[in-house]
A and B are shown apart, each in its own frame.
Chain A
Amino acid sequence: MALLTGWAAFLVGFATIAAIYGLLTLGLNVHYGYTGLLNFGHVAFFAAGAYAAAIVTMPPPATVTNASYVVWFNLPMPWGFPVSLAAAALAGGALALLIGLTSVRLGTHYLAIATFALAGVFGDVLVNEAWLTNGSFGMNGVPKPGRAALGADVWQLAYLAFALASLAAVYLLVERVMNAPFGRLLKGIRESEAAAEMLGKNATVAKLKSFVIGGMIAGFAGGVYAHYLGSVVTAQFLPAVTFTVYAAMLLGGAASNTGAVVGAFTVVAFRESTRFITTAYDWVQATLPEPLTGVLPALVGPLPNNPSFIPSMRLVAVGLLFVLVIRYRPEGLLGNPAEVDALGDEGGGE
């Protein structure tokens, strides 16, 4: 039955996830790349969007196993789908507004700590407010719009097309807004808040707007993600997501939207590549001439023989990529060195 097998299935899945990470990276790029806001809690906006999408579309709890949530709207597909995505974007934006109102005045490093902590708090809220989120069981009946009509394989392709189209649309919107005076306003604030204020600009309000816009994009990404996987579980929304998105943004080049998209696809590919470690190992082992077959097992021998060892290498892969980019190409693949130069300086612009 399944037409999509092996490589094809892998590629379609990879590209869908990469498109979602592309959205997340575009959002973070508004924060950090354009405005210099060191947001270390990006995953919270993503989660807010995913949960909002789940809450507005989940069927009644009686029809779902292990369900104890008391709020659901069961919006019918397909017309509930755009409503759900709008709710996701609004939820991401609303959370960003809430966090931004308390924190956006903080300087770079303090903002990083505050957003990281508040994202952690938000994660705890998701686990504990089971009436709303179904706690750590998660929401496991998020509808996949059109899946019944299209069948599993066609739906996979159709959803990929939708995810890519969403990415393209958000990309174009962000490009327009950032190349307009609003983007220039954000960049000036990134470079020197004091100078921006002396020129009559309200830095706090502009930073808050930037925070909300990036949060809305991340929330939207969460909605796309929820309807893709069909389930939303707190364990999906760990700080590692934030840092993977950072890796994507820095690799692609901060303040470059094209870079954000390229970076997201590259980092997700890099991360997924650990899946093939075992396959590659077996292949090498099978290809090696007889006298050398003992070499690989001897090398691998000291490594822990734990089923979670290989998957955990994903984090190592992303971390390694981080180090390489910062060390050898701080402006990223498509970033502008002259623009990225001063990013992250405390009170830059002097």
Chain B
Amino acid sequence: MGATDGDAPGSTDAVGVDGAADADDGNAGDPLLAVDDVVKAFGGLVAVDGATFDVERESITGLIGPNGAGKSTLFDCITGVHAPDGGTIRLDGEEIQGRSPTAVARRGVGRTFQTPKTFRGMTVRENLAFAARGQTGERALNTLFRPGTVDAEEADVRERVDEILAFLELEHLADEYGSALSGGQRKLLELGRVIVMDPDIILLDEPIAGVNPSLTDDLLDRLEELNDRGRTILLIEHDMDVVMEHCDHVVVMHNGETLASGPPRIVREDDRVVDAYLGGYDA
């Protein structure tokens, strides 16, 4: 898998968060993703209105908030689907706002969708292999004039795809077409594609929504495992039990703004968060 470890796992716990409304972690220093005062309006509707937060390296950060809070739009801004009207988005210190989705992905941002965009007319194996980066054989002429390199890379990709099939426990579906998969399997497959792509940060839009409960735990285990291997994860999730249990850090959005940010325990007790979103949640 070539996990990019090296730092001690769990170092994210060192992040000093006081649970105040100030979403900027200030002294945390060196976040992987820094969203700063991002604004995105569609006509008169301001979907994202000054969202500001950091995603620490090797953390699982949860992005929560009521429907319409601007979470998915913010994902679209980060991944280049929309160019924000204002503010900056930094990945590893480099501004990426306004770049094309392709450029952002190549820079190291992977993403899944709320409704998986599975390649239905391709097998599970092809779906995964597609995501491999930097393939010589993606240039038509190389397939004819550099067959040795192309075939050797294909063998590597195949091996890697096999590993990920095993990791996601999808081996039995390897040669099924995307169209034959259940909703939950498609979510796993989409996650698998992102893993093959091997980005620095993975953005997941409601990864367990609509997934068969028997698959949910599996999927969450996989996410934890990925995180243990050094991947940074930012996820939108509505299931508060999941957020509380699996996230190191939570960002709360409301009406396009980031309302609060911090460790789950502290965010849960923030009065404004409770008013805006959590209601009577108690765990």
Binding site for B on A (CB under 8 A): 173, 176-177, 180-182, 184-185, 187-188, 190-192, 194-203, 206, 209, 213, 255, 338-343, 348-350
Contact = CB atoms under 8 A, between A and B. Distances in A.
13 contacts: A181-B154, A182-B137, A184-B130, A188-B119, A188-B127, A190-B121, A192-B117, A195-B193, A198-B105, A198-B111, A213-B140, A339-B122, A349-B120
Interface stretch (B34-42, B60-68, B173-181): B173-181
Contacts of A194: 81, 101, 113, 117
B138 interface: yes
A343 B121 CA distance: 8
Contact of B126 (A184, A206, A213, A348): A184
Contacts of B147: 176
Contacts of B140: 177, 182, 209, 213
Given A173-B144, A187-B119, A199 B137 contact: no
A195 B133 contact: no
Specify the main secondary structure of chain B where it touches its partner: helix
Contact of B179 (A177, A201, A342): A342
Contacts of A199: 105, 110, 130-131, 193-194, 197
Contacts of B136: 181
Contacts of A348: 120
A191 B110 CA distance: 18
Interface string B176-210: 01111000000000100110010000000000000
B117 A195 contact: yes
Contact of A192 (B119, B142, B180): B119
B137 A338 contact: no
A296 to B, nearest CB: 48
B4 interface: no
Given A173-B144, A181-B150, A191 B106 contact: no
B100 A197 contact: yes
Contacts of A187: 119, 121-122, 126, 130
Contacts of B110: 198-199
Interface of B: 79, 81, 100-102, 105-106, 110-111, 113, 115, 117-122, 126-127, 129-133, 135-140, 142-144, 147, 150, 153-154, 157, 177-180, 190, 193-194, 197
Instruction: In the A-B complex, list the 7 residue pairs whose CB atoms are closest, starting with the nearest.
Output: A181-B137, A200-B105, A180-B143, A195-B117, A191-B119, A338-B177, A197-B101
A338 B179 CA distance: 7
A198 B122 contact: no
Contacts of B79: 198
Contacts of B111: 198
A191 B121 contact: yes
A191 B138 contact: no
Nearest to B130: A188
B143 A182 contact: yes
B125 to A, nearest CB: 10
Nearest to A213: B140
Contact of B113 (A173, A195, A339): A195
A184 B125 CA distance: 11
Contacts of A185: 130, 138
Nearest to B194: A199
A206 B137 CA distance: 12
B106 A200 contact: yes
A197 B117 CA distance: 11
Given A192-B117, A200-B131, A349-B118, 7 more contacts: A181-B143, A182-B137, A182-B138, A198-B111, A209-B140, A341-B177, A349-B117
Contact of B180 (A197, A201, A338): A338
Contacts of A201: 102, 105, 130, 138
Contact of A191 (B101, B142, B178, B180): B178
B55 to A, nearest CB: 18
A217 B28 CA distance: 58
Contacts of B119: 187-188, 191-192, 195, 349
A340 B138 contact: no
Contacts of A196: 130
A41 to B, nearest CB: 22
Contacts of A209: 140
Nearest to A196: B130
Contacts of B197: 199-200
A177 B130 CA distance: 15
A343 to B, nearest CB: 7
